[in-house]
Amino acid sequence: MIATSPVKELRAIVGRDNVLDQPVDLQTYEYDAYLERHLPRAVVFVRSTAEVSAVVKVLARARIPFVPRGCGTNLTGGSVGLDDAVIIEMGLMDRILEIDLPNQRAVVQPGIFNLDISEALAPFGYYYAPDPASQKACSLGGNIAENAGGPHCFKYGVTSNHVLGLELVLPDGEVVWSGGKNVDSPGLDLTGILVGSEGTLGIVTAAILRILRKPETVKTMLGVCKSLEDGGNVVSAIVAAGLIPATLEMMDNRTINAVEDSMACGFPRDAAAVLLIELDGLRDGMDEMAEQIVTICRANGVSDVRVAQDEAERAALWKGRKGAFGALSRLAPNYMVADGTVPRTKLPEALRRVAEIAGRYGLQVASVFHAGDGNLHPLLLFDGRNNGERKKVMAASMEMLQVCADLGGTVSGEHGIGVEKLGAMHMVFDDNDLRAQSYVKEAFDPQGLCNPGKVLPGPAAKTGAPGPTEAGGATGAGAPSLTVSVGAALGA
Amino acid sequence: MPSEAPQDVAALAGRFEAVVGCDQVSLAPETAVHDLRAPAQVRPADEQQLGRVLALARTEDLGVCLAGGATKLGWGNRARRFDLLVSTRDLQGFSDVDPDNLSLSVAAGTPVAEARAKARAMDRVLPLDPGRPSVATVGGVTATADQGARGAGYGGLRDVVLGLRAVLADGSAVKFGGRTMKNVTGYDMTKLFVGSFGVLGVITEVTYRLLPRPEKQALIVLPLESLAQGRGIAAYVLDSYLQPLALEVISAGFARMTGVAGATPSGVVDLAPGHGYLLLAAFAGHRAAVARSIAEVRGQARAPAAAILEDAEAESLFERLSEAGAVGARSGSSLTTRSTVPISQVWELAQAAETRAGAIELPLAFRIGAARGTLDLYMSERASPAPDPQRLTTYAADLRRDAVALGGQLAVTRGLAMLSPAFDAWGDLGASVKLMKRLKERFDPDGILNPGRFVGGI
């Protein structure tokens, strides 16, 4: 096919052992936390921007598609290589390059675990705010690619609010910087468009992050709810009262019990739902605001409100919340998350309709979600080895996303489009909207080599909800092909 | 082009009248972009009309400059061509008003002050604090990412826009983002359009994130003996647990220009001799947290003199700050610039601006946004002897070099005509400009929107 073997060229750049091309080695990289499997052509481990650039130049010249990959925790198939792509594995680029306290910035490489950033900053009294639930196991590069959220977005925003500059290897191998340590640089906000672009516009090799002073006080509360609806009403009332908690998270009864079964964090097993609320900021006025929240809870039928008395209790609550996806994965061989978002006040209706859809398909559903952001995460539990179940789950999930779109929300709050939701893009965007987005892809990646088949639907995906197809060498532009992973379950 | 024959202009106007109606087209509009005026202006009444106007402009291959409240036409470079002024002023109103979900959708031509009042009436805050809010429109403010003192607490425009609608150069209407805080459905096109200076498309509607109205708002004004003193207090605040809504240091000249000095009812903000600067720190939230924050800042000042303004008083001081641009405009021959640098470097840049201005006896006023690293400079040339473009150009070029060396940028926001013609309003942004050009080529292949006015000749 090609005169000189690209693998040979790649080995010359990164060293023999840093290129995998044997099927047995490649199998580790054929899936992520979504359901599809595609064996990559090769996997290349890179250690520097210069190596990434050289590798990409070789691949671009040979017109071989490539996919940057971090820890493979993506829930929508974003880090799976379609079209016989080469995986560029970023995990070795995991260093903190600079902690710049006077400017409140950190410069890091993309392979670093999210949690490691805040741990490195802790001695200085600083932290990096976006904390997706998978933060122990997901890398910053993936967070940037997906514009990751997490349970503290209600107050602090998402990844894009905290990324100010990026070093990028373009799909032709050229290295450019966007943004910087300063804010609002003149020119188009390339950093802004790169964050959330799912690795389709280039490969991020360094990022300038905003870092925040740790709050003086944190108060964590757990409201024990008689129904999901009560919890939703509490959230709305808190917002109406002018309070801005850092966290407003909910888990339903099935999730609570899964969490308790797997790690015993002290959640009440008989509660219909729990609402996790966290206030942070100055200690002054904090007790009064906490009291106000307790009053709001009581007024909305949530009689039992527990306040974490110490750091250990707080840590236990968070361990349960952040481990919820993992705990739920024990209940069934597979799950699928419908990561839709609705305007917050529509949450009760969205949850009702999600339950109705699950009931109609006869599917078990567990809900753990970011109530403050209106970001639902109904997890559909199923056995992926059963072809019929898989089809039902896909169809139910698409219906749930349609509900979110119909209620004025959107089809992905934080997990991205990947291959999973290509068909759902038409629920919120028309042809003009999508054409404008394709301009961006064309400007950055005219050859279409960088993570092909993701984010933007091809013409084939336009016919409503994609019907699941059988496994095989689907090329990704159309309906996603389905195979099933038993991959690690790490959620947002 | 201004040189176009009158009968051609009339014919052109006629073709636009056929699209939007006679009332929406006018000849020889007053509004100038730098020293250029277009022969005709169109004010589309809605998004559909705007679409037809741009489609026609593209067919006719016209250079189109955009204006809302026309407060920032001094920003950017001269237009490469300027055949038509398109005003978004008639795109008015609120399409989606949702105080419970903390979002508000505003048509592009709505003045910011009106949108803020709308939010206030619902007990919410619209987190915009641009220059001249009673005139500046939400479309213009979003397209220029203009954010002032309260950006310390609000964040930049990119942080408060949830979604927007726009009309592209081919006349097609598009929508990006949505109404929810979290949204990763497709590329984050809203970010691309915020601050895009109208070169990719014309923003027609913006959806903003709202904030709950804080229980309390207060602002402390401290006279400073030196910039170094301001730097010390600002560094303390930024490294503390305090979360300022605004953290500004303004020069005596700026305080006088905006009427901040002596403007308070308590009257203690007068600039005593030897106090060349004022520090303004504002906080919002729970009354106890605000009280503690104010006390902590006050404790940092060696001089006990301080004024504390609460709620409406603080609000009116912010209004004065945001009218600085209007004052600059009235004073005639003035040059203004905006720089952003890493936050700790803004003091060096301000010092350099002062020193360099002093060396050439150039009257200078400035404000430092200490929490975001912004520096706005206002330089006014005396009428006599006649302003010397070379002297000002050298000053601006030197300062730009300083800003770049400190990791930032310097852009001209008024008075480009006072500088030598080769001076670019934005400066050299390096390799990333290539990508911006490629985006421009995709969105506006004929280069009809604000041609040549943005970075890198875009």
Query: A284-300 pLDDT, tens per residue?
Result: 999 999 999 999 999 99
The answer to whether the CB atoms of A184 and B427 lie below 8 A apart is no
For the residues B336-345, what does the mean pLDDT come to? 98
Smallest CA–CA distance from B427 into chain A, residue? A186
Expressed in angstroms, the distance from the first to the final Cα of chain A is 41
Torsion angle, alpha carbons of A383, A384, A390, A394, to 10 = 100
pLDDT surpasses 70 at A13 = yes
How far CA B414 is from CA of A443, B72, B87, B195, B330, in Å, comes to: 32, 8, 20, 17, 12
Q: For residue A345, what are the contacts with CB-CB under 8 A and spacing of at least 6? A: A236, B98, B100, B101
pLDDT surpasses 70 at A484 = no
Q: How confident is the model at residue A360 (pLDDT cuts 50, 70, 90)?
A: very high
The pLDDT of residue B385 is 67
Give the closest-approach CA distance of A292 to chain B in angstroms: 12
The pLDDT of residue B274 is 64
Q: For residue B147, what are the contacts with CB-CB under 8 A and spacing of at least 6? A: A184, B128, B129, B130, B154, B155, B156, B157, B372
Is B25 in contact with B40 (CB distance < 8 Å)?
Answer: yes
pLDDT surpasses 60 at B207 = yes
The answer to whether the CB atoms of B239 and A101 lie below 8 A apart is yes
pLDDT tens digits along A298-319? 999 998 999 999 999 999 999 9
Per DSSP (E only), the strands in B252-320 are 277-285, 307-310
pLDDT tens digits along B149-158? 999 999 999 9
pLDDT surpasses 50 at A407 = yes
Expressed in angstroms, the distance from the first to the final Cα of chain B is 19
The answer to whether the CB atoms of B340 and A183 lie below 8 A apart is yes
Give the closest-approach CA distance of B285 to chain A in angstroms: 9
Characterise A196 by phi-psi region: left (phi > 0), alpha (psi -120 to 50), beta (else). Answer: left
Residues of B in contact with A281 (CB under 8 A): 241, 243, 285, 289
pLDDT surpasses 50 at B294 = yes
pLDDT surpasses 90 at B278 = yes
The pLDDT of residue B330 is 65
Handedness of CA B188, B189, B194, B199 (dihedral sign): positive
Q: How confident is the model at residue A477 (pLDDT cuts 50, 70, 90)?
A: very low
Lowest mean pLDDT, pick from A379-393, B155-169, B323-337: B323-337
The whole model's pTM is what?
0.94
The pLDDT of residue B329 is 65
Give the closest-approach CA distance of A280 to chain B in angstroms: 11
Which tokens go with A364? Answer: 């078990």
Q: How confident is the model at residue A240 (pLDDT cuts 50, 70, 90)?
A: confident
Residues of A in contact with B285 (CB under 8 A): 281, 285
The answer to whether the CB atoms of A281 and B285 lie below 8 A apart is yes
The pLDDT of residue B38 is 94
The answer to whether the CB atoms of A416 and B242 lie below 8 A apart is no
Q: How confident is the model at residue B271 (pLDDT cuts 50, 70, 90)?
A: low
Give the closest-approach CA distance of B257 to chain A in angstroms: 26
Q: Look up tokens 């925790």; give the residue.
A: A73
Pairing status of strand B334-340 against strand B409-414? antiparallel
Q: How confident is the model at residue A4 (pLDDT cuts 50, 70, 90)?
A: low
pLDDT tens digits along A169-220? 999 999 999 999 999 999 999 999 999 999 999 999 999 999 999 999 999 9
pLDDT tens digits along B353-408? 999 999 999 999 999 999 999 999 999 877 666 668 899 999 999 999 999 999 99
The answer to whether the CB atoms of A343 and B103 lie below 8 A apart is yes
The answer to whether the CB atoms of A160 and B456 lie below 8 A apart is no
The answer to whether the CB atoms of A410 and B183 lie below 8 A apart is yes
Give the closest-approach CA distance of B447 to chain A in angstroms: 15
Measured CA angle at B408 (ends B230, B400), to 5 deg: 95
How much is the mean pLDDT over chain A? 91
Give the closest-approach CA distance of A93 to chain B in angstroms: 23
The pLDDT of residue B256 is 86
Residues of B in contact with A437 (CB under 8 A): 186-187, 189
> Which residue, B32, B188, B48, is CA-closest to A197?
B188
Give the closest-approach CA distance of B318 to chain A in angstroms: 21
Q: For residue B395, what are the contacts with CB-CB under 8 A and spacing of at least 6? A: B356, B357, B360, B362, B379
Residue to test with chain A: of B181, B203, B208, B245, most A Cβ within 10 A: B181
Is A85 in contact with A106 (CB distance < 8 Å)?
Answer: no
For the residues A380-392, what does the mean pLDDT come to? 93
Of the candidates A216, A284, A344, the beta carbon closest to that of B288 is on A284
Smallest CA–CA distance from A404 into chain B, residue? B180
Q: How confident is the model at residue B275 (pLDDT cuts 50, 70, 90)?
A: confident
Of the candidates B100, B102, B187, the beta carbon closest to that of A437 is on B187
Give the closest-approach CA distance of A160 to chain B in angstroms: 8
> Which residue, A470, A475, A432, is CA-closest to A35?
A470
The answer to whether the CB atoms of A374 and B155 lie below 8 A apart is no
pLDDT tens digits along B115-141? 999 999 999 999 999 999 999 999 999
pLDDT tens digits along A270-281? 999 999 999 999
Strand partners, B151: none
Residues of A in contact with B441 (CB under 8 A): 443
Residue to test with chain A: of B213, B435, B450, B454, most A Cβ within 10 A: B435
Pairing status of strand B364-369 against strand B277-285? unpaired
For the residues A324-337, what does the mean pLDDT come to? 93
Distance CA A207, CA A147 (A): 13
- Top-confidence residue, B113 or A492: B113
How far CA A330 is from CA of A254, A259, A261, A327, B7, in Å, comes to: 12, 10, 9, 6, 78
The pLDDT of residue A242 is 87
Indicate the SS3 state at residue A424. Answer: helix
Residues of B in contact with A104 (CB under 8 A): 238, 343
Q: How confident is the model at residue B267 (pLDDT cuts 50, 70, 90)?
A: very low
Which tokens go with A112? Answer: 């670093």
Residues of B in contact with A100 (CB under 8 A): 342
Q: How confident is the model at residue A251 (pLDDT cuts 50, 70, 90)?
A: very high
Smallest CA–CA distance from B409 into chain A, residue? A185
Torsion angle, alpha carbons of A146, B444, B24, B4, to 10 = 160
The answer to whether the CB atoms of B408 and A185 lie below 8 A apart is yes
Distance CA B185, CA A425 (A): 7
The pLDDT of residue B334 is 86
Which tokens go with B345? Answer: 């470097």
Helix, strand, coil percentages (3-state) for chain A, rounded to 5, are: 35, 20, 40
Smallest CA–CA distance from B454 into chain A, residue? A187
Question: Peptide bond preceding B212: is omega within 30 degrees of 0, i.e. cis?
Answer: no
The answer to whether the CB atoms of B432 and A455 lie below 8 A apart is no
Q: Look up tokens 């290349």; give the residue.
A: A44
Long-range CB contact pairs, A258-262, < 8 A, 24+: A258/A324, A258/A327, A258/A328, A258/A330, A258/A331, A258/A366, A259/A320, A259/A321, A259/A323, A259/A324, A259/A327, A260/A320, A261/A327, A261/A330, A262/A323, A262/A326, A262/A327, A262/A330
The pLDDT of residue A459 is 66
The pLDDT of residue B381 is 76
Of the candidates A102, A158, A216, the beta carbon closest to that of B182 is on A158
pLDDT surpasses 60 at B264 = no
The pLDDT of residue A337 is 93
B274 burial via Cβ count (<10 Å: 0-12, 13-18, 19+)? exposed
pLDDT surpasses 70 at B448 = yes
How much is the mean pLDDT over chain B? 93
> Which residue, A199, A203, A202, is CA-closest to A453?
A199
